[in-house]
């Protein structure tokens, strides 16, 4: 059992949040396990313990412990040590329900669409013909599909996407709100394709909504707005908008490039409005419950 000798770790996180150090000498998993008894273990079907928490993991937890010298533990655990929250449920708290959705959904990811700052709008949805500077999408999968996106795109209601329109604040403030200031502060570290950054200062999706009213929304059955554009999405687009300072909105189209730093800036990242689909508007206050909690976000740039 456990022919792990061929696995090697090349990078290890150091105590400075988010940074990495290259491990120059090879360390095998076997070396790290030491004399652990590998014949006694617990087994269950569970989920990833980090978002998107897919129910996709066969867990094996060994009864025996790895014995490490106390001095080494003190040297490697950042002070004060962060206590890992207990896993009390096989489901993560990140998800959406209510608002007429047939069942609960778990959040998969969020992303943004923009045009060119506040001067060229880039939202994918329009309200009464009005396009907005930016739009945030939170993509969720039917909880019963256990994170299986292959099944989700074959189900007309397999995915539920939330669309939040973003417009510039009219009070001439800059750097507001704080959650967007925090989010945009990472853009300068993902200016080229393939770069990624760990967000070290926690940002919750709720904080990005900045008090937006969730009881007034539009609902229609539609498709993904990126290839393969499957007709598998229950769309909910909120009538209220997130108000963000113009300077922060401008950062998106002025900071990141479509390839390396010599390439053009990433602008107009949205799909145009499609031909008319029947759209319903929420008639009674039935707020969507977005129990989005604290989601540790990771930003990455990729080519669409
Ligand atoms: Zn989108």
Count of residues making up the chain: 304
Longest CA span, the chain:
68
| Residue 249 pLDDT > 90 | yes
Q: Is residue 294 part of a domain?
A: yes
Q: Is residue 158 part of a domain?
A: yes
Q: Are 51 and 92 in contact (CB under 8 A)?
A: yes
pTM higher than 0.85 for the full model? Answer: no
Q: Is residue 81 part of a domain?
A: no
Q: Are 300 and 190 in contact (CB under 8 A)?
A: yes
CA 233 to ligand 1 centroid distance, Å: 11
Which among 173, 118, 149 has a CA at the least distance from the CA of 55? Answer: 149
pLDDT for position 49: 55
Q: Are 152 and 232 in contact (CB under 8 A)?
A: yes
CA 123 to ligand 1 centroid distance, Å: 9
CA 226 to ligand 1 centroid distance, Å: 7
Q: Are 304 and 226 in contact (CB under 8 A)?
A: yes
**Going by C-beta distance under 8 Å and a sequence separation of 6 or more, which residues neighbour residue 188?**
255
Expressed as residue numbers, the domain containing 152 is 95-300
Based on the fold, state whether residues 152 and 285 are members of the same structural domain. Answer: yes
CA 111 to ligand 1 centroid distance, Å: 6
Based on the fold, state whether residues 64 and 141 are members of the same structural domain. Answer: no
Name the pLDDT band for 278 (thresholds 50, 70, 90): confident
CA 200 to ligand 1 centroid distance, Å: 24
CA 137 to ligand 1 centroid distance, Å: 5
Q: Over the chain, what is the mean pLDDT?
A: 75
Q: What is the CATH number of the domain that holds 291?
A: 3.10.200.10
Name the pLDDT band for 95 (thresholds 50, 70, 90): confident
CA 171 to ligand 1 centroid distance, Å: 28
Name the pLDDT band for 3 (thresholds 50, 70, 90): very low
Strands 280-281 and 217-222 come out as antiparallel
What average pLDDT score do residues 170-174 get?
95
CA 289 to ligand 1 centroid distance, Å: 20
Q: Is residue 288 part of a domain?
A: yes
Based on the fold, state whether residues 114 and 257 are members of the same structural domain. Answer: yes
Q: Is residue 167 part of a domain?
A: yes
| Residue 101 pLDDT > 60 | yes
CA 261 to ligand 1 centroid distance, Å: 24
Based on the fold, state whether residues 62 and 187 are members of the same structural domain. Answer: no
CA 229 to ligand 1 centroid distance, Å: 11
Based on the fold, state whether residues 60 and 209 are members of the same structural domain. Answer: no
Dihedral pair phi/psi, residue 76, rounded to 5° = -105, -20
CA 55 to ligand 1 centroid distance, Å: 24
Residue with the two structure tokens 């909504």: 209
CA 294 to ligand 1 centroid distance, Å: 21
What average pLDDT score do residues 275-304 get?
52
Domain count, the chain: 2
213-225, pLDDT tens digit by residue? 888 889 888 887 7
23-67, pLDDT tens digit by residue? 666 666 666 777 777 666 555 555 555 555 555 655 555 667 777
pLDDT for position 197: 86
What average pLDDT score do residues 265-272 get?
89
CA 237 to ligand 1 centroid distance, Å: 12
CA 113 to ligand 1 centroid distance, Å: 6
Based on the fold, state whether residues 144 and 258 are members of the same structural domain. Answer: yes
Q: Is residue 84 part of a domain?
A: no
The lowest-confidence range among 64-68, 144-148, 178-182, 258-262 is 64-68
Based on the fold, state whether residues 57 and 202 are members of the same structural domain. Answer: no
Based on the fold, state whether residues 139 and 227 are members of the same structural domain. Answer: yes
Q: How far is CA 226 from CA 83, 92, 303, in A?
A: 39, 26, 11
CA 134 to ligand 1 centroid distance, Å: 11
CA 39 to ligand 1 centroid distance, Å: 47
pLDDT for position 135: 96
CA 19 to ligand 1 centroid distance, Å: 29
pLDDT for position 12: 39
CA 135 to ligand 1 centroid distance, Å: 8
Q: Is residue 5 part of a domain?
A: no
CA 177 to ligand 1 centroid distance, Å: 22
Based on the fold, state whether residues 101 and 67 are members of the same structural domain. Answer: no
The lowest-confidence range among 48-57, 109-118, 132-141 is 48-57
CA 165 to ligand 1 centroid distance, Å: 11
Q: Is residue 170 part of a domain?
A: yes
Based on the fold, state whether residues 188 and 154 are members of the same structural domain. Answer: yes
Based on the fold, state whether residues 259 and 125 are members of the same structural domain. Answer: yes
Based on the fold, state whether residues 169 and 218 are members of the same structural domain. Answer: yes
| Residue 268 pLDDT > 50 | yes
């Amino acid at each position: 059992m456990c022919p792990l000798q061929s696995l090697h770790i090349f990078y290890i996180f150091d105590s400075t949040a988010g940074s990495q150090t290259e491990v120059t000498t090879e360390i095998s998993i076997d070396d790290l396990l030491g004399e652990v008894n590998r014949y006694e273990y617990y087994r269950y079907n569970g989920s990833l313990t980090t978002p998107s928490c897919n129910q996709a993991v066969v867990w094996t937890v060994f009864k025996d412990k790895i014995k490490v010298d106390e001095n080494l533990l003190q040297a490697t655990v950042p002070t004060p040590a962060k206590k890992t929250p207990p896993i009390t449920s096989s489901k993560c708290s990140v998800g959406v329900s209510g608002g007429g959705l047939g069942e609960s959904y778990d959040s998969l990811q969020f992303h943004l669409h923009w045009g060119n700052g506040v001067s060229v709008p880039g939202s994918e949805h329009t309200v009464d013909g009005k396009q907005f500077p930016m739009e945030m999408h939170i993509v969720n999968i039917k909880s019963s599909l256990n994170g299986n996106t292959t099944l989700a795109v074959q189900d007309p209601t397999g995915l539920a996407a939330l669309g939040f329109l973003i417009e510039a604040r009219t009070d001439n403030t800059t750097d507001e709100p704080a959650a967007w200031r925090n989010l945009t502060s990472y853009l300068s570290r993902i200016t080229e394709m393939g770069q990624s950054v760990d967000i070290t200062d926690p940002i919750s999706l709720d904080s990005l909504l900045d008090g937006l009213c969730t009881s007034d929304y539009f609902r229609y059955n539609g498709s993904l707005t990126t290839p393969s554009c499957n007709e598998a999405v229950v769309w909910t687009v909120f009538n209220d908008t997130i108000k963000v300072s113009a300077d922060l909105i401008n950062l998106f189209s002025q900071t990141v490039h479509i390839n390396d730093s010599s390439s053009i800036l990433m602008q107009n990242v949205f799909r145009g409005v499609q031909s008319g689909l029947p759209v319903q508007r929420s008639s009674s206050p039935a707020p969507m419950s977005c129990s989005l909690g604290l989601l540790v976000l990771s930003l990455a740039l990729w080519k669409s």
